[in-house]
Structure 1
Amino acid sequence: MSCFSSPLNSKILIPQKMGSKMNSPNSPILCKLHTNQPYNPRIKTIAFSSFSIQNQQAPTDQTQLPKTSAYTVKFRTLGACKLGISRYPDFEYNAEGGTGTGTGTAPVVEDNGLKDQVSVCFDLKTLYIPPLTTATSRFLGLPFPPFLRIDIVPELFQGNISRESGKVDLEFKAKFLFSVGNIYRAPPLMVATVLTSEESEGRMRRGRGERLDGEGKCRLVGVATVEAIDDVFMNTFLGLPTECLANLNAVITYSTS
């Protein structure tokens, strides 16, 4: 038996081992440890654990970014759309032929499934929305005058799509360019809104969309504020600043890249 020295006097009572021939059967072994050395604060106690350092494993890196799956997303506008501004009745708008292509990404979870949310960004170079002309638009049941034209020039189109629920929220920003032949061209009207499959509501206008169905069809609505521009005629004619409403029938499909 070996003993370790202690800075304090101590007694250790060791019970008699049954059947031992070295000890009296009636008395325990008393081991008295003495130390006359003063306490030295420079002596430090080191505790050892039975856990081997070799068994330790490096901690898992929790800062790694999740892997993602990439998609090709296609956007197409349909007929039976509407556009409204101020308190005027809505324009009937046939947006058939509008197209756009973008990319979508969704993080991959541990079981190699895909998270529900897909982040989408459309390439503005591929995005085309038909203008409002006498061929595409009607107001109060009558076609637009042949000389009146409203071009739509997108500047931003991105957002999120839920694959599980079909919910769509796409941030949309565009310039609306009013012109009357070669006679008149108004400064651009800036329109920024979120085209959603849910409900969009302002002070004057409101609309309700429809979520993606199994074929990718949906109805997207968005209310936006249109600020006044440096044009007295347009400010007066449209009552700027005011609100406008976009109500679009569309198809959104995506495939794995």
Structure 2
Amino acid sequence: MVCKANSSSNPQFFSKCSNKPPKLLSSSCPKSQSIQMQRLNSMSFRCCYNQNQQQQPITTKTQHPKPELYTVNFKTMKDCNLGISIYPNFVYNAGGGRGTGRGTLLESQFNELFVSFDLQTLYIPPLNSNTTKFLALPLPPFFKIDIVPQLFQGTIEKQTGKVSLEFKAKFCFSVGSVYRAPPLLVETILTSEESSGKMRSGKGERLDEEGKCRLVGVATVDPIDDVFMNSFLRLPTECLAVLNATIQFSAST
């Protein structure tokens, strides 16, 4: 039996049937019916598989490299200088000063480290008759200036040796148990480059192969609640710190 479909005679035939699934052949054609069933099953499987693929989000894990950490050791040495106001510099032996910090390698062409020192390990010797001379003479007995660090952090370029460390400390003046002044707060950048103010200036030296350097910093010192110290030091004024030091770092495990 032959069936013919004339589209011109029945133009709505396809539009009416386009949304309907194709009819299977009659049972008189089992082979054709089986082939069509296989095709429909295959199409249904592919459709469901594609939908599942679209519904499942694609997740990727981005692995960031761990920052490279260093242990940084800081030591102060002799032949340092401290100056304030219009007075000549104190010749200061800071040997024995020390501190330990943590360094994190930054993304820089100079292998730059950001270093933060632990204040509990940071010790800077006081200025007294054993460590300090003024006009070639030791400081008078019982005269003492304690240095209490509040902040010590910054950057070190491993490739160039350039150092820039933010330093904040309290300088506490005392004469035995007779007199104790309110602390002077000193904030400066200790640098291996040049530091200058209106009254004072200094030039540092970069780290060498042995880790030796000279750090300088000029700071402004504000008045305190003490008439004698404000008058004697002519506050507000500038102070200069010149520290010979060694800075060495090693990769942390």
Q: Shorter-chain TM-score: which interval?
A: 0.7 to 0.9
Pick aligned residue for 2:117 from 113, 122, 127: 122
Aligned counterpart for 1:239 among listed residues 234, 237, 247? 234
CA offsets, 1:21-51, max 9 Å, x none? xxxxxxxxxxxxxxxxxxxxxxxxxxxxxxx
Amino acid at match of 1:89: P
Which one of the candidate residues 198, 212, 216 is aligned to 1:217? Answer: 212
Rate the CA distance shift 1:121–1:168 in 2: closer, same or farther, 3 A: same
- Give the Cα–Cα distance (whole angstroms) in 2 for the partners of residues 189 and 60 of structure 1: 55
CA distance in 2, matches of 1:184, 1:219: 33
C-alpha displacement of 1:147:
1.4
Residue 144 (str. 1) matches residue 139 (str. 2): yes
Cα-to-partner distance string for 1:41-88 (whole Å, 9 max, x where unaligned): xxxxxxxxxxxxx9xxx8998x97653111100000000000000010
Q: Over residues 166-192 of structure 1, what are the superposed CA-to-partner deviations in whole Å (9 max), with x where a residue is unaligned?
A: 000000000000000110000000000
Distance 2:203 2:78 in 1: 17
| Inter-partner Cα distance in structure 1 for 2:139 and 2:115 | 34
Which residue, 158, 174, 182 being the options, matches 2:177?
Answer: 182
Percent identity between the aligned chains? 66
Residue type of the partner of 2:160?
Answer: S
The structure richer in helix per residue is 2
> TM-score by structure 2 length?
0.74
Q: Is the 8 A contact 1:72 1:102 kept in 2?
A: yes
RMSD value, Cα: 2.6
Per the TM alignment, residue 248 of structure 1 is displaced from its structure 2 partner at its CA by 0.2
* Cα separation, 2, equivalents of 1:185 and 1:75: 30
In structure 2, the CA distance between the partners of 1:81 and 1:115, relative to structure 1 (3 Å rule), is: closer
Rounded to whole Å, the distance in 2 between the matches of 1:181 and 1:71 is 41
Question: One-letter code of the match for 1:190?
Answer: L
Tell me the secondary structure at the aligned position of residue 214 of structure 1.
coil
Q: Is the 8 A contact 1:224 1:244 kept in 2?
A: yes
Unaligned runs of 5+ in 2: 1-52
Partner of 1:135: 130
Task: Tell me the matched-pair count.
Answer: 201
Structure 1 residues 175-214: Cα deviation after superposition (integer angstroms, max 9, x where no partner):
0000001100000000000000000011101000000000
Secondary structure (helix, strand or coil) at the match of 2:235 reads: coil
Distance 2:234 2:110 in 1: 45
**2:237 and 2:172 mapped to 1: Cα distance?**
16
**Aligned match of 1:104:** 103
Further displaced range: 124-133 or 64-73: 64-73
8 Å CA contact 1:68–1:108 kept in 2: the answer is no
Question: CA separation in 2, counterparts of 1:64 and 1:85?
Answer: 52
What is the aligned counterpart of 1:204 among 199, 202, 209? Answer: 199
Q: Distance in 2 between matches of 1:94 and 1:191?
A: 19
Counterpart contact for 1:116–1:163, Cα < 8 Å = yes
Q: Is the 8 A contact 2:106 2:114 kept in 1?
A: no
Q: Is the 8 A contact 2:215 2:244 kept in 1?
A: yes
Q: What SS does structure 2 have at the residue aligned with 1:124?
A: coil
In proportion to residue count, which structure has more strand?
1
Q: Deviations over 1:82-112 (max 9, x none)?
A: 0000010000000000000010011479xxx
Residue pair 2:124, 2:147 contacting (<8 A) in 1 also: yes
Residue identity matched to 1:220: L
Alpha-carbon offset, residue 236 of structure 1: 0.2
Question: Residues 235 and 164 from structure 1, CA distance in 2 versus in 1: closer, same or farther, beyond 3 angstroms?
Answer: same
Q: Which 4+ residue blocks in structure 1 deviate beyond 2 angstroms?
A: 58-61, 63-67
Quick one: distance in 1 between partners of 2:172 and 2:87?
18
Work out whether residues 110 and 157 of structure 2, in 8 Å CA contact, stay in contact via their aligned partners in 1: no
Structure 1: 5+ residue runs without aligned partners? Answer: 1-53
1:251 aligns with 2:246: yes
